[in-house]
Structure 1
Amino acid sequence: MGIKEIVEAINEERQSVGGIKNVVWLAAGGSYGGFYPAHYFLDQESRVIRSKNITSNEFVKAPPVFVGENTLAVVCSMRGTPETIEAAKVAKKRGAATIALYIDESELTEVCDYKLNYDSVALDDSDFSKTNAAYGLLMAMVVMDTVEGYEHMETAMQSFEKVDTLYKQAVIDIRTKAIKWSLQNRKSKSIHIMGSGAAYGAAYIFSICNIMEMLQIDSPTVNSCDFFHGPFEVIDEETSVFLLMGEGGSRPNDERAARFLQEFGGEKVFVLDSRDLGLDKIDPKVAEHFNHLIFSPILNNVFMRELAYQIKKDYTTRTYMWKAAYN
Structure 2
Amino acid sequence: MDCQMIVSEISQRKQKDGGIKEVVWIAAGGSHGGFYPAHYFLDQEAKHIRSKNITSNEFVKAPPKFIGKNTVAVICSMRGTAETIEAAELAKKLGATTIALYVDESKLTEICTYKIAYQSLAIDESDFSKTNSVYGLRLAMLLMNEVEGYFDMAIALDEFKKIDQVYKQAALDIRPKAIKWGLQNRESTSIHIMGSGPTYGAAYIFSICNVMEMLQIDSPTVNSCDFFHGPFEVINEETSVFLLMGQGRSRSNDERAARFLKQFGGHKVFVLDAKEIGLNQFDERISEYFNHLIFAPILNNVFMRELAYQIKKDYNTRTYMWKASYK
TM-score category, normalised to shorter length: over 0.9
Letter in 1 for 2:103: I
SS of equivalent residue, structure 1 residue 95: coil
The code of the aligned residue for 1:219 comes to S
Aligned to 1:244: 244
Which residue of structure 1 lines up, in the alignment, with residue 288 of structure 2? 288
2: distance between equivalents of 1:274 and 1:176?
A: 16
Structure 1 runs of 4+ aligned residues shifted over 2 Å read: none
Match of 1:14, SS state, is helix
2:101 corresponds in structure 1 to 101
What is aligned with 1:260? 260
- Mapped to 2, the partners of 1:158 and 1:13 lie a distance apart of 28
Question: 2-side partners of 1:232 and 1:272: how far apart?
Answer: 19
* Aligned-partner Cα distance in 2 for 1:231–1:189: 17
Alignment of 1:198-237 (within 5 A): 198-237=198-237
Distance in 1 of aligned mates of 2:248 and 2:59: 30
Deviation at 1:17, TM superposition (A): 1.6
Instruction: Give per-residue Cα distances to partners, 1:186-213, cap 9 Å, x unaligned.
Output: 1000000000001100000000000000
- Unaligned 5+ segments in structure 2 are none
**Which SS does the other structure have where 1:296 is aligned?**
helix
Task: Look up the equivalent residue of 2:101 and give its one-letter code.
Answer: L
CA apart distance, 1:142: 0.4
Give the CA deviation at 1:158.
1.2
Q: Distance in 2 between matches of 1:3 and 1:188?
A: 43
Taking structure 1 as the reference length, the TM-score comes to 1.00
Distance 1:156 1:13 in 2: 26
Structure 1 unpaired stretches of 5+: none
Q: What is the aligned partner in structure 2 of residue 111 from structure 1?
A: 111
Instruction: Give the TM-score, by structure 2 length.
Output: 1.00
Corresponding residue of 2:308: 308
Match of 2:11 in 1: 11
Distance 1:159 1:236 in 2: 41
Shift of 1:257: 0.1
The Cα shift of 1:215 comes to: 0.2
SS at match of 1:26: strand
Give me the whole-angstrom Cα distance separating, in 1, the residues matched to 2:34 and 2:228.
26
Report the equivalent of 2:37: 37
Matched pairs, number: 327
1:57 Cα deviation after fit: 0.2
> How many Å separate the matches in 2 of 1:266 and 1:320?
33
Q: CA deviation at 1:134?
A: 0.3
